[in-house]
């Protein structure tokens, strides 16, 4: 395993900081899974999720593979671990049929890996090794988010100990923000700390002036499309989008229930609840977002437009983009509950008018947190791309997915940086994804 390389910047976190992060993300993993029954830990076979028990072992295996075995040169803790949990080589459909350790054995393996990581971090750290801790922690962050939407997919009970989103009432945020054209550096730089290979490197692109919605599309706005027969009107759908709609017989977003007595409801985990009209619409796929745009005579932003609206600034005369990039839409201050619905601040999307402190220089709100936002961009490598050590993170998926930006309520702030490129196939409607739009 290649340890250390000049183009692999790290977070710069101290050993103590990394221990704190390891414990924090593991607490979230356990909180999302320990209450599940043995049957729920397995669940039925689905193409879009893993058995939870397998997912837990995979998380621990990934930590062990990169930090204990790779960086520290230790022998495997479980001899057959690679045959059980290496996601690059264990076919998805076989994961329900593996002879996995039981609940106690799996949690014991996770605890053993963590204890050994903490012991090694207590002895010191170099930049080459820090990279693999940064990678492993963020990998678990991603699985924490996946475990959350897996609970929704599987109709499990709501996770305990998280504030319910419907307590936030702030209404809509109408109108578009005008973003001037000019040169924009799309992507990440080494100065931003740990980044993923598909973000490398920041490069010049040219943007025409555009107008982008100040807020994400709401449930009420999407409901208008549903009520207007949008799911049954062929002209609003691309060819692959219509094929998806026909194959699924979709009439509304996946968890919405038929409207009764003038009220829209949805299945939230295993319960039926009223749909918050001003909250961002979530659990819609790219095809549905694109169809809504065609109906509303709008369009999805490119990822370059999205990024410029989020962290760009206007030049002094307002006629072009300045050369500056903010670290966050609101400035340099790290996100907290006044800026973003991240890190389980709430267990669901809040009203799009909330969190005025999150506004970008152009007045766009909640571009970080609440819901991932689909863009029009295909997930492709930037020029000069080369994979990082985890070679299957990006490279196998280029050309088959769409880019999302911004992060959702269950996303870690370590992941939801403005330049982070999330990516899913356009048919995925089980993830925390919504959208905002641009004027045509």
**DSSP label of 232:** G
CA-nearest of 229, 202, 223 to 382 is 202
3-state SS, residue 330 = coil
Q: Where are the domains of the chain?
A: 15-153, 162-440
The CATH classification of domain 162-440, taken from the options 3.90.1580.10, 1.10.10.1800, 3.30.465.10, 3.30.43.10: 3.90.1580.10
Q: What is the pLDDT along the chain (440 residues), one digit of tens a residue?
A: 554 455 789 999 999 999 999 999 999 999 999 999 999 999 999 999 999 999 999 999 999 999 999 999 999 999 999 999 999 999 999 999 999 999 999 999 999 999 999 999 999 999 999 999 999 999 999 999 999 999 999 999 999 888 776 667 788 899 999 999 999 999 999 999 999 999 999 999 999 999 999 999 999 999 999 999 999 999 999 999 999 999 999 999 999 999 999 999 999 999 999 999 999 999 999 999 999 999 999 999 999 999 999 999 999 999 999 989 999 999 999 999 999 999 999 999 999 999 999 999 999 999 999 999 999 999 999 999 999 999 999 999 999 999 999 999 999 999 999 999 999 999 999 999 999 999 99
In the β-sheet with 402-405, what is the strand arrangement from edge to edge?
422-424, 402-405, 372-378, 433-434
Question: Which residues, including other chains, have CB under 8 Å from residue 66's CB and lie 6 or more apart?
Answer: 132, 135, 136, 389, 390
This prediction's pTM: 0.96
What residues are paired with 374 via a beta bridge? 404
Pairing of strands 372-378, 433-434: parallel
Q: Residue 165 has what pLDDT?
A: 65
Contact 349, 418 (CB under 8 A): no
In whole angstroms, what is the distance from residue 286 CA to residue 311 CA? 23
H or E element: which one contains 281? none
* Token reading at 302: 């490119």
End-to-end CA distance of the chain: 48
The CATH classification of domain 15-153, taken from the options 1.20.120.450, 3.40.50.300, 1.20.1740.10, 3.40.50.2300: 1.20.120.450
Contact 318, 430 (CB under 8 A): no
In whole angstroms, what is the distance from residue 331 CA to residue 406 CA? 15
Q: Residue 167 has what pLDDT?
A: 66
Cα dihedral across residues 371, 374, 375, 379: positive or negative: positive
In whole angstroms, what is the distance from residue 224 CA to residue 439 CA? 18
């Amino acid at each position: 395993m290649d340890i250390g390389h000049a183009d692999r910047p790290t977070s710069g976190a101290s050993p103590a900081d990394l221990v704190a992060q390891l414990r924090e993300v593991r607490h979230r993993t356990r909180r999302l899974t320990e209450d599940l029954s043995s049957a729920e830990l397995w669940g039925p076979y689905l193409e879009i999720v893993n058995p939870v028990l397998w997912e837990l072992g995979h998380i621990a295996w990934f930590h062990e593979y990169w930090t204990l075995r790779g960086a520290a040169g230790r022998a495997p803790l479980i001899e057959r671990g690679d045959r059980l949990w290496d996601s690059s080589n264990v076919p998805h459909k076989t994961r329900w049929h593996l002879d996995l350790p039981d609940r106690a054995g799996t949690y014991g393996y996770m605890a053993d890996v963590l204890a050994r990581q903490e012991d090694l971090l207590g002895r010191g750290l170099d930049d080459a090794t820090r990279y693999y801790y940064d990678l492993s922690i963020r990998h678990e962050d991603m699985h924490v988010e996946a475990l959350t939407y897996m609970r929704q997919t599987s109709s499990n009970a709501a996770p305990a100990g998280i504030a319910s989103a419907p307590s936030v009432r702030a209404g809509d945020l109408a109108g578009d923000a005008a973003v001037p054209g000019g040169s924009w550096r799309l992507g990440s730089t080494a100065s931003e700390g740990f980044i993923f290979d598909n973000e490398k490197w920041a490069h010049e692109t040219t943007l025409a002036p555009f107008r982008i919605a100040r807020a994400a599309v709401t449930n009420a706005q999407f409901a208008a499309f549903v009520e207007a027969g949008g799911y049954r009107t062929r002209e609003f759908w691309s060819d692959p989008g219509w094929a998806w709609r026909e194959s699924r017989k979709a009439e509304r977003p996946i968890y919405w229930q038929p409207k009764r007595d003038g009220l829209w409801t949805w299945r939230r985990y295993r319960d039926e609840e009223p749909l918050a009209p001003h909250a961002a619409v979530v659990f819609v796929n790219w095809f549905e977002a694109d169809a809504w745009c065609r109906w509303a005579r709008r369009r999805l932003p490119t990822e370059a437009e999205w990024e410029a609206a989020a962290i760009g600034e206007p030049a002094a005369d307002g006629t072009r983009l300045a050369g500056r990039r903010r670290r966050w839409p609101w400035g340099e201050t790290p996100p907290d509950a006044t800026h973003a619905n991240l890190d389980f601040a709430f267990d669901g999307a809040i009203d799009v008018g909330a969190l005025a402190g999150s506004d970008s220089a152009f007045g766009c709100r909640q571009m970080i947190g609440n819901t991932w936002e689909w863009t029009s961009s295909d997930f492709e490598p930037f020029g000069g791309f080369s994979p990082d050590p985890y070679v299957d993170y990006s490279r196998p998926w280029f050309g088959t997915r769409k880019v999302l930006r911004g992060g959702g309520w269950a996303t870690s702030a370590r992941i939801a940086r403005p330049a982070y490129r999330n990516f899913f196939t356009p048919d995925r409607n089980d993830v925390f994804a919504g959208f905002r739009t641009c004027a045509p």
